[in-house]
Chains A and B, each alone.
Chain A
Amino acid sequence: MPHLPAGGPPIRILTVGPAASLDPDTLELLTRSGHTCVRLDDPQEALDRLLRGEADLLVRDPADLLKPGLGVSAGPPHTEDHRLAAARDNYRTLLMELPLLVWKGDATGGCEYVNQAWLDFTGLPLEALLGDGWTGALHPEDRETLQHTYAEAFRTRLPMGLEFRMRHRSGEYRWVLGSGKPFYDLDGQFAGFLAACDDIHGIRTAERRIRRLTDLYAALSHTNHAIVHARDRQRLFQEVCRIAVGFGKFRLAWIGLADPQRGGFHPVAHAGPASAYLDELGNCTTASEPGGLGLDAVVILEGESRIERNLPASASCAACRASADRNGLRAQAAFPLRVGGRIEGSFSVFSDAGDAFDQDMVALLEEMAEDISFALDHLAREERRIAAEDALAVALRERQAMLEAASVARVVPWSMGPEGILHWGDSAGLVLGRDPADLERMPGWPWQLLLEEDQPRLRQALREADLGLVASAECRMHHGEGRTIWTRWTLAREGTRFRGAVQDITEHHTVQEQLFQSQKLESLGTLVGGIAHDFNNLLMAILGYCEIFEGDPGFSRGQRKGLEVIHRAAQRGRDLVDRLLGFSRKVAPRRTPGNLNTILSEAASLLVHALSNRIRLVQEPSPGLPDLSFDSGQLHQVVMNLAINARDAIQGEGTITLRSGLRSVPAEEALAHRRLPGDYAYLEVEDTGCGIPSDRLRRIFEPFYTTKGAKGTGLGLSMVHGIVTDHGGFVECASELGVGTRIRVMLPRVSSGERTDDPAQGGGPSMRVLLACGEPARARLSVGLGQMGHRIAPEAVTEAASVSGPAPWDLLVMEPSALDMDAGAFLDALARRGWTGPFVLLGQGRPGALPRPAAGHLPHDFSLMELVETLHLSCPA
């Protein structure tokens, strides 16, 4: 305890604590002795002022003031030396006991004193600290800075302050805040530095922790941002690693994915200055190994987060330890990544600080890993959704294609299970004109949709299917729009289920029917033509002799009467044959240019007289109808025949419309009906009569077929058919029972200049014939065709096949054996020029595959008659 010297130099006294309540008498006594006394409440401030030299004595207990030396005591004053020694002891004690770490350097800079607090802090004996010894406890990273700062302060004699780490006796480095100032002895000589250090480790640790947590919050926030914008896993992984290093300030972050097949896992993304760690790690494995498992392997196997705060000393695999050590990685935190609840991989971050992962930091990192897992789940769902959408789009396209195919083929698939409900495909609406859902409400087979007379066919097909066959049946069905269509049912049975398809074959059926009819008419025509020829010869004999005998006076009156009867009968026979020949196209049309509207109006003026006043006659000529080349007499007959039929079809009141117009026959229609494509003009007769049943409609052109009973000859429409065919045209019929009939005569629009008859030649058009044959045949054909008034096209074969431009030929005569090219290729070349006219094959050579059948054949040694015959058959018009 210090004792104040009485009568000595004045002393500056600081009182704290109980001394603050110094009694006034004592205070007066001190003041009188020349001392000053300042009272303070804060012991720290008092200490600071003492250390700064602003006071000479710090008094804690007022009782001390009563001790000898201060002059305030009741006892006698001590000597000067004694007082000084007491003061020094007092300071020493004070410094020693001071709760701050106090250090005193001598004039050379070396440590000459540390207080008890310093010794306690470092756990080192005083001797170990003296001189430069004290720097051994400094943190290696801070040592240089501190030495430098101290040296500078020492040189400039200026106060200094610095935060640095010093090794605590526990082995841990702790942060302290050191302040130093130059120290002068009583003589004012520089005597070294006096420094005090405050242990601020708690504050610094808290600050650092807060910084780390702020870093991790930033990392978490950026991770979530990345997750929101993630489009695929790989980019997300890379971004998360980058964020962990960039914002989380980790030395290394990486993501490994488990590879169950290989029994290991592999890095898919990483970032950070210590990435070499991964390169050195080599193959990662989740299989137990002698060297132990890495932290990530444990996480993947166990599905739990793991923290290792001292990697180099951990029990993990040797390779991990060694690599961590080499790369300065002290601590690792690894977290499982889950997709759909399954462990998919791990997310690891590494730090060079052992204290990097406290509870709060781990919680944040765990949250980060969970967010990544969430993102992976979301991405997986998104991938599945996109895949499902793609699959759906494909399915929709396929379904659309199926529907389109079904609509083109006019097919509807169906199936019937054991429950007896017939399920129809979507194309039922297109093909049958019925909603599949409506159809499914009809139990069992849709007998009510089938025409009664066709039902046995489907029943038979069902029986065949029962026997295990793929059966088919053609039946007429009631279309949803009210019409009747032809359908083909194809069906098979699989166990208790029937499967099949219904195809609308109406068009096919119609075309087939029409082809059949036209072939039938064709052969009938040939037959009739042959009979007519023979018949005319027979009639020649009968008529000729009748006329001879009629002029013979040797015949009696009775005989002459008999001859007249024979004559009349023969003449009727001739008329009949003429009409028959009209059907079988044995009367050549005499074509002259004219307009179908003229035919209409002339026919109308004649018809007016043949119609009752209950029948209205309407003319609808198409304006601007181009001139055609036709036999006006024959076409008159056509219109009259049609109009008379129309009249006979009308019972009571009605209307007959005579109409003309233009229509194009497209290639596909032409192909289906074996007609020539192109532009046609038409004449049409429409009535509001009784109509013709469809089974009769297809027979109306047959000779002697009549719907008028005994009133009809059955030759009127046959003649129409013959005449129109002779003109290169065709007839279209439409009829509905009780509504009426419309018959349209289609005539090709060939310009009148090209195929008119040469009146001087007595009928028949002049043709332009392209010859593709050898020289001998060419010469004979040129003469023969020329004599018949036809023209030979000047083009050679190669020219015809290669030059583009119009192809104005009516007929091609082709000798395949004399061609430089394949006959089929030649025809194809002509077709490319737009020419698909009739052709005649010359010679016996086999022409190979041809795109269409030849219209006729001529032998090499053809006679003129054969040429004529072939031309006639090939180019009837």
Chain B
Amino acid sequence: MSTILLIEDDHDTAETIQAMLETEGHAVHHAENGRRALEKLDRGLGVDLVLTDIVMPDMEGISTIQQLGKVRPGLPVVAMTARRETPYLRAAKAMGARETLYKPFGLATLRQILERTLAPPPAPGGAE
């Protein structure tokens, strides 16, 4: 069981993913955008993994990942997107995201990604 920071602007989607993560036995902190998430971390929130959407208002995912790399180097990040454009995923990876997830995803996929991401040492490359 891990503590996961979920960054997702869509309320319903956030609630769903939170429920899925909790079903898998993880503790979830939710932030509706990157700025809020960084504030939480800034206040000392300890997490094992960040699951962040890419396309969000206020502070979008790419910049969030970039900032996360600065404030918590080594903290594993998984980028989620309902879009599938190459540059977003490419940028997310370039900024340090270890994995990417295409929405909608099922429990099996989620479980597989989390296992890969949380297991030391992190698995190299490859999404889904």
Cα distance A787–B62 when bound, in Å? 11
**Is B82 an interface residue, CB under 8 A from the partner?**
yes
Instruction: Say whether A868 contacts B88, CB under 8 Å.
Output: yes
Instruction: Say whether A864 contacts B62, CB under 8 Å.
Output: yes
Q: Chain B contact residues (Cβ within 8 angstroms of A): what range? A: 35 or more
Size of chain A's interface in residues, with CB distance under 8 A? 42
**Is B17 an interface residue, CB under 8 A from the partner?**
yes
**Is A540 an interface residue, CB under 8 A from the partner?**
yes
Instruction: Say whether A764 contacts B16, CB under 8 Å.
Output: no
Taking the closest CB of chain B, its distance from the CB of A868, in whole angstroms, is 4
A352-407 contacts to B, CB under 8 A, are: none
Cα distance A574–B84 when bound, in Å? 13
A509-557 contacts to B, CB under 8 A, are: 529, 532-545, 547-548, 551
Cα distance A548–B87 when bound, in Å? 32
**Is A292 an interface residue, CB under 8 A from the partner?**
no
Task: Enumerate chain A residues within 8 angstroms of B106, measured Cβ to Cβ.
Answer: 543-544, 547
User: Which residue of the partner chain, among B12, B55, B60, contacts A533 with CB atoms under 8 Å?
Assistant: B55
Instruction: Say whether A868 contacts B105, CB under 8 Å.
Output: no
B86-104 contacts to A, CB under 8 A, are: 86-91, 93-95, 100, 102-104
Taking the closest CB of chain A, its distance from the CB of B77, in whole angstroms, is 14
Main secondary structure of the interface of A (DSSP, over half): helix
**Is B45 an interface residue, CB under 8 A from the partner?**
no
Instruction: Say whether A863 contacts B125, CB under 8 Å.
Output: no
For A536, give the chain B residue with the smallest CB separation.
B82
**Is A75 an interface residue, CB under 8 A from the partner?**
no
B15-62 contacts to A, CB under 8 A, are: 15-17, 19-20, 23, 54-55, 60-62
User: Which residue of the partner chain, among A540, A759, A763, contacts B105 with CB atoms under 8 Å?
Assistant: A540
Stretch at the interface among A308-316, A581-589, A681-689: A581-589
**Is B107 an interface residue, CB under 8 A from the partner?**
yes
Taking the closest CB of chain B, its distance from the CB of A560, in whole angstroms, is 15
Cα distance A139–B105 when bound, in Å? 145
Instruction: Say whether A761 contacts B94, CB under 8 Å.
Output: yes
Task: Enumerate chain A residues within 8 angstroms of B84, measured Cβ to Cβ.
Answer: 581, 586-588
A841-877 contacts to B, CB under 8 A, are: 863-865, 867-869, 871-872
Instruction: Say whether B20 contacts A547, CB under 8 Å.
Output: yes
Instruction: Say whether B93 contacts A545, CB under 8 Å.
Output: no
Task: Enumerate chain A residues within 8 angstroms of B13, measured Cβ to Cβ.
Answer: 537, 540-541
**Is A228 an interface residue, CB under 8 A from the partner?**
no
For B124, give the chain A residue with the smallest CB separation.
A760
**Is A789 an interface residue, CB under 8 A from the partner?**
yes
**Is B2 an interface residue, CB under 8 A from the partner?**
no
Cα distance A588–B107 when bound, in Å? 24
**Is A762 an interface residue, CB under 8 A from the partner?**
yes
For B60, give the chain A residue with the smallest CB separation.
A865
Task: Enumerate chain B residues within 8 angstroms of A542, measured Cβ to Cβ.
Answer: 104
User: Which residue of the partner chain, among A534, A570, A759, A763, contacts B86 with CB atoms under 8 Å?
Assistant: A763
Instruction: Say whether A540 contacts B63, CB under 8 Å.
Output: no
Cα distance A533–B13 when bound, in Å? 12
Instruction: Say whether B83 contacts A533, CB under 8 Å.
Output: yes
Taking the closest CB of chain B, its distance from the CB of A787, in whole angstroms, is 4
A759-779 contacts to B, CB under 8 A, are: 759-764
Instruction: Say whether A789 contacts B90, CB under 8 Å.
Output: yes
**Is A788 an interface residue, CB under 8 A from the partner?**
yes
Instruction: Say whether B104 contacts A762, CB under 8 Å.
Output: no
Instruction: Say whether A544 contacts B19, CB under 8 Å.
Output: yes
Instruction: Say whether A868 contacts B125, CB under 8 Å.
Output: no
**Subset of 9 A-B contacts with CB under 8 Å:** A536-B104, A541-B13, A544-B16, A760-B124, A764-B90, A787-B91, A788-B91, A864-B91, A868-B87
Beyond contacts A536-B103, A543-B105: 19 other A-B pairs, Cβ-Cβ < 8 A, are A532-B83, A533-B55, A534-B82, A536-B82, A540-B103, A540-B105, A541-B12, A541-B13, A544-B20, A544-B106, A545-B16, A547-B107, A548-B20, A759-B125, A787-B91, A863-B63, A865-B63, A868-B88, A868-B91
